């Protein structure tokens, strides 16, 4: 007999018997015992590997109800139930959960009614469906017959004892004991057993709105991990989506109550796995040094992605993967959501934003125009003065032959088409001929001269998807002329509404490629909006607006706090700065007044000379004038509003650069939080709220209260 049973028997013997007139709980059970039993309410869970261990996560209440209804119908063998907003399918017959839009290991699904507490994380683990049914039948008999201390043996030969409705224990076997040991199995450390999901501490969400208003593709940066916890792009986008759902409930409450909006769907796009499945990792491993193995592996897996993108071979693989994945997911999304009427936007983090920028720059308008850029200024129009033929020949130290080309009326384009025989007939020696041909042929290839331009399809919809020969847009000569990798950029089968860049190095790459400024009238051929969002301490982020308006100096737009105020330390910093300026101005004004009053009476000659000096001196600043005059008699001048800043058409005339407010702890040491600031966007409420605000603003839906 176990210690628990012996204690309960002793307590029952020591308890006085109830009086004849009293109504004990046992008598109540005997009177109507059958009515006290209520069937347990099941809830559906799925198993996920987190930190190398199995974790059971509940479906939201809406998905669990759908799974239970499908299970109760009795046709669960071939039934497929979409869950998690349609991003996962549950095959009831297999009890497995599969991802729809991306590759992911399938996870086990279970209809759960009974749970036991785990050892390490104190989270409840569900029993198998078959053993849960045995537990439920035993519990029903115990309640109905009022016979407790029921003992059961689990499939792995562990003991579960039902002492009473509030005390049910699962005993683990003692380490090292077996069936020949002296200690019984139930003498191990007990674990709590609970019946029904309502008795365990677990967060169960209500579910997501069925209506999808907008679709956003999210492209990751370098490496397979996207944050400091080494999570994948799928997990980080899940956080981004969860934050957006919470903000929709708090900041768009009126629109949700009026059923004007549903939700925004964010889907990840992974290009790292296809790139590193080309065999490049094996090639790199052969030449990698054996020392500092972990650091070199990290470099090969992450930092080298930047060099891959600057390689024509692997750059083609990257842009093909990103564009084809977004097109594939878009087609699949329309098939699964035929009632979708919303628009599409794209977002990129770090290097992913540069990939999207290059793809958007080389898009063609899907209205049947073979060259959509003919009516648009090129982003690369202003690269400085283009060197003339004479300057090119001077660079080659062949200036003496310029007169020959001038006589033959040959410019740079004509010279690029000349052959060796043509130059020989002009009387140019063999050595200079080889230099000229090599130089200008290289320039011709890099400028993309005489490349055929494929025709664009009439539209970008499900019924008119571009053919494989029409899927690529030819490389614009000016694009490659500034150092952009000469690859064929795929076409997107839709027009993105807005392009969001998080922690983006676009400005740096454009500058390194040789671009001095962006034409103010330039805009993406197929995308209307562009927002460059960054953290002030992000070491990878660069601004865009100074390249559009290089002559003006202005600060980026400060992203409002999602609670509608500036962070306290920023307000304190501004207040202290303003206070110090006021104290300085008042102190200077008081000293000047004291000096004047001291020198005016006893020294009239000095007073006269001071008056003359003041006449010749510059007028006092506005901050010093109130100390010389009565402030009550003069009205306070109205502060003039700063004129709006025009930063071109890249974002439809709106501002482009948006900076987050750093946290108070981050302001103590910028270098300490530099890496964290580059990976902070996935859980940043301010970032997500800006994205939602700009998306719904295009539909005429605004925040409940404007943020300051």
Q: Which helix (H) or strand (E) holds 447?
A: helix 430-447
Q: Do residues 447 and 440 make contact, with C-beta atoms less than 8 angstroms apart? A: no
Cα gap 315→280, rounded to integer Å: 13
CA distance 704 to 708: 13
Tell me the two tokens of residue 67. Answer: 């799974």
Token representation of residue 191: 């674990």
- What Rg value do the Cα atoms of the chain yield, rounded? 37
- What dihedral do alpha carbons 352, 354, 360, 361 form, nearest 10°? -170
What are phi and psi for residue 473, nearest 5 degrees?
-100, 135
Cα(343)–Cα(326) distance, integer angstroms: 14
Cα separation of the two ends of the chain? 70
Q: Which of 350, 473, 677, 684 is catalytic?
A: 350
Give the C-alpha separation, 677 to 666, whole Å. 9
CA distance 224 to 230: 8
User: Exposed, middle or buried: residue 188 (CB in 10 Å: 0-12, 13-18, 19+)?
Assistant: middle
DSSP letter at 307?
A: H
How many other CB atoms are there within 10 angstroms of residue 164's CB atom? 10
Query: For residue 120, which of 54, 48, 45 has the smallest C-alpha distance?
Result: 54
DSSP string, 76-144: -SS-EEEEGGGTEEEETTTTEEEESSS----EEEEEE-EEEE-SSS--EEEPPHHHHHHHHHHHHHHHH
**444 CB contacts (<8 Å, ≥6 apart)?**
416
Q: Which two tokens stand for residue 225?
A: 């991990």
Residue 123 CA to residue 117 CA, distance in Å, equals: 6
* Residue that the structure tokens 């650091």 belong to: 295
Tell me, yes or no, if 17 is annotated catalytic.
Answer: no
Q: Which residues are annotated as catalytic?
A: 350
């Amino acid at each position: 007999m176990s210690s628990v049973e012996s204690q309960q028997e002793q307590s029952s013997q020591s308890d006085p018997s109830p009086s004849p007139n009293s109504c004990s709980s046992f008598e109540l059970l005997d009177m109507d015992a059958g009515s006290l039993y209520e069937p347990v309410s099941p809830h559906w869970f799925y198993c996920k590997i987190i930190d190398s261990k199995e974790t059971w996560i509940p479906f939201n209440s809406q998905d669990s109800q759908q799974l239970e209804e499908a299970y109760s119908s009795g046709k669960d063998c071939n039934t497929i139930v979409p869950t998690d907003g349609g991003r996962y399918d549950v095959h009831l017959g297999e009890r497995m959960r599969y991802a729809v839009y991306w590759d992911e290991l399938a996870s086990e699904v279970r209809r759960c009614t009974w749970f036991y507490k785990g050892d390490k994380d104190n989270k409840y683990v569900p029993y198998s469906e078959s053993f849960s049914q045995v537990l439920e039948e035993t519990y029903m008999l115990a309640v109905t017959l009022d016979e407790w201390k029921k003992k059961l043996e689990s499939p792995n030969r562990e003991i579960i004892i039902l002492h009473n409705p509030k005390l049910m224990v699962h005993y683990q076997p003692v380490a090292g004991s077996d069936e020949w040991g002296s200690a019984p199995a139930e003498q191990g450390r007990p674990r709590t057993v609970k019946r029904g999901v309502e008795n365990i501490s677990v967060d169960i969400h209500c579910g997501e709105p069925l209506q999808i208003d907008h679709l956003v593709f999210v492209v990751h940066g370098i490496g397979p991990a996207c944050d400091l916890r080494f999570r994948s792009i799928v997990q980080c986008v899940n956080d981004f989506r969860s934050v957006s759902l919470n903000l929709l409930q708090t900041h768009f409450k009126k629109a949700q109550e009026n059923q004007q909006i549903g939700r925004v769907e964010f889907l990840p796009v992974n290009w790292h796995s296809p790139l590193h499945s080309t065999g490049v990792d094996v090639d790199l491993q052969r030449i990698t040094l054996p020392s500092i193995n972990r650091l070199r592996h990290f470099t090969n897996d992450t930092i080298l992605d930047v060099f891959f993108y600057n390689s024509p071979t692997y750059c083609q693989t990257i842009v093909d993967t990103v564009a084809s994945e977004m097109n594939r997911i878009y087609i699949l999304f329309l098939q699964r959501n035929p009632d979708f009427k919303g628009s599409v936007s794209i977002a990129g983090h770090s290097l992913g934003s540069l990939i999207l920028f290059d793809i958007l720059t080389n898009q063609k308008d899907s209205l049947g125009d073979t060259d959509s850029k003919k009516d648009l200024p090129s982003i690369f129009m202003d690269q400085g003065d283009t060197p003339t033929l004479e300057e090119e020949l001077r660079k080659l130290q062949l200036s003496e032959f310029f007169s020959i080309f001038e006589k033959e009326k040959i410019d740079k384009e004509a010279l690029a088409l000349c052959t060796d025989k043509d130059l020989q007939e002009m009387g140019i020696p063999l050595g200079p001929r080889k230099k000229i041909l090599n130089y200008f042929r290289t320039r011709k290839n890099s400028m993309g001269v005489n490349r055929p331009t494929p025709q664009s399809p009439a539209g970008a919809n499900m019924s008119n998807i571009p053919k494989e020969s029409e899927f690529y847009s030819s490389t614009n000569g000016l694009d490659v002329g500034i150092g952009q990798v000469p690859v064929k950029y795929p076409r997107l089968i839709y027009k993105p509404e807005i392009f969001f860049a998080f922690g983006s190095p676009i400005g740096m790459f454009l500058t390194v490629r040789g671009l001095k400024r962006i034409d103010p009238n330039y805009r993406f051929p197929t995308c209307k909006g562009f927002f460059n969002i960054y953290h002030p301490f992000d070491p990878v982020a660069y601004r865009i607006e100074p390249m559009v308006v290089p002559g003006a100096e202005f600060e980026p737009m400060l992203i409002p706090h999602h609670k509608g105020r500036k962070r306290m330390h920023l307000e304190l910093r501004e207040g202290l700065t303003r206070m110090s300026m006021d104290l300085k101005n008042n102190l200077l004004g008081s000293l000047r007044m004291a000096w004047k009053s001291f020198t005016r009476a006893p020294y009239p000659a000095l007073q006269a000379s001071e008056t003359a000096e003041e006449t010749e001196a510059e007028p006092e600043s506005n901050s010093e004038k109130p100390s010389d005059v009565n402030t009550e008699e003069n009205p306070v001048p109205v502060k003039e509003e700063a004129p709006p800043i025009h930063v071109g058409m890249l974002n439809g005339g709106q501002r482009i650069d948006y900076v987050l407010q750093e946290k108070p702890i981050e302001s103590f040491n910028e270098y300490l939080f530099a890496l964290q600031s580059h990976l902070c966007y996935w859980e940043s409420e301010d970032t997500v709220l800006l994205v939602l605000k700009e998306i719904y603003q295009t539909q005429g839906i605004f925040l409940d209260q404007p943020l300051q």
